[in-house]
Amino acid sequence: MTSQFIPAALIAAALISAPAFAADQPIVGAPSPVPHPVAAYLPITIAQNKCLVCHREQPEGAARRKGEIPRSHYAAPGQLAGERFECMLCHAESSDAKPLAPVDANEAAH
Ligand code: HEC
Ligand code: HEC
C-alpha cells in the first residue's frame, strides 16, 4: 500500500508543479508580456485597435494557435468583450530591464 502510494504522490506533485515551468509565462495564468514593441500601434481608441490587424480571434472549437486571441476575450463570436478591448491594460510591453529584486513569481505554486 505505502510503496504504491509514494510514487503516485510524487507523480501528482510533479504534475501540479508543471505549469510553473512554462517558459513564456512568467506568472501562471497572467496575461503574457507583449514580445514586440507596441508604440506604433498606440493609442488604442474605440474607432481603431491596430493590435487586431495581426492578432486574430481563436476559432470556436479549435485549439488556440500562437498569436491568436483566446476565446476568453470574446463576448460572442467576432465581438471582443468590452473589458478586453484595451489590450495594454493587462498585457505589458516586455522589457529587458533588470529585476529590482530576485523575486520568484510562482512561489505560491511550488
Ligand atoms: C504587425 C503585426 C502585429 C501587430 C500590429 C501586433 N502584434 Fe502582437 N505579435 C505579433 C507577432 C508576429 C507575435 C509573435 C507570435 C509568435 O510568438 O509566434 C506577437 C505576439 C504577441 C503576444 C504574445 C502572444 C502569444 O500567443 O504568446 C501578445 C500578448 C501580443 N502580441 C499583443 C499585442 C498587442 C497588445 C498589440 C497592440 C498594441 C499587438 N500585439 C500588435 C504581431 C503583431
Ligand atoms: C482584462 C485583462 C486583459 C485584456 C484587456 C486583454 N487580455 Fe489578453 N489575456 C489576458 C489573460 C489573463 C490571458 C491569459 C489567458 C486567458 O485568460 O485567456 C490573456 C491571453 C492572451 C493571449 C494568449 C497568450 C497568453 O498570454 O496566454 C493573447 C494573444 C492575448 N491575450 C491578446 C490580447 C489582445 C490582442 C488584447 C486586446 C484586444 C487583449 N489580449 C486584452 C488578459 C487580458
Q: Does a structural domain hold residue 106?
A: no
Q: Does a structural domain hold residue 108?
A: no
Q: Of 11-20, 23-32, 66-75, 96-105, which range is least confident?
A: 11-20
pTM of the entire predicted model? 0.82
Q: Does a structural domain hold residue 17?
A: yes
How does residue 30 score in pLDDT terms, banded at 50, 70 and 90?
A: confident
Q: What share of the chain is helix, strand, coil (3-state, %, to 5)?
A: 35, 10, 55
Q: How many domains is the chain partitioned into structurally?
A: 1
Q: Does a structural domain hold residue 103?
A: no
The residue among 60 and 101 whose pLDDT is bigger is 60
Q: Which residue has the cell 507523480?
A: 11
The reported pLDDT for the residue numbered 103 is: 74
29 CA closest ligand 2 atom index:
14
82 Rama sector, left if φ>0, alpha if ψ -120 to 50, beta otherwise: alpha
Q: Does a structural domain hold residue 65?
A: yes
Average pLDDT over residues 53-60: 96
Single-letter amino acid, residue 67: G
Residues 94 and 2: beta-carbon distance below 8 Å = no
Average pLDDT over residues 85-101: 88
Arithmetic mean of pLDDT over the chain: 81
Q: What separation in Å is there between the alpha carbon of 68 and the centre of ligand 2?
A: 10
Residue 35 lies in domain: 2-96
Question: Is there an atom of ligand 1 within 6 Å of 35 CB?
Answer: yes
Per-residue pLDDT at 1 exceeds 60: no
The residue among 95 and 50 whose pLDDT is bigger is 50
Q: Does a structural domain hold residue 102?
A: no
Q: Does a structural domain hold residue 10?
A: yes
Q: Whose CA is nearest to atom 41 of ligand 2?
A: 87
Q: Does a structural domain hold residue 45?
A: yes
Give CA 12 to chain center in angstroms: 24
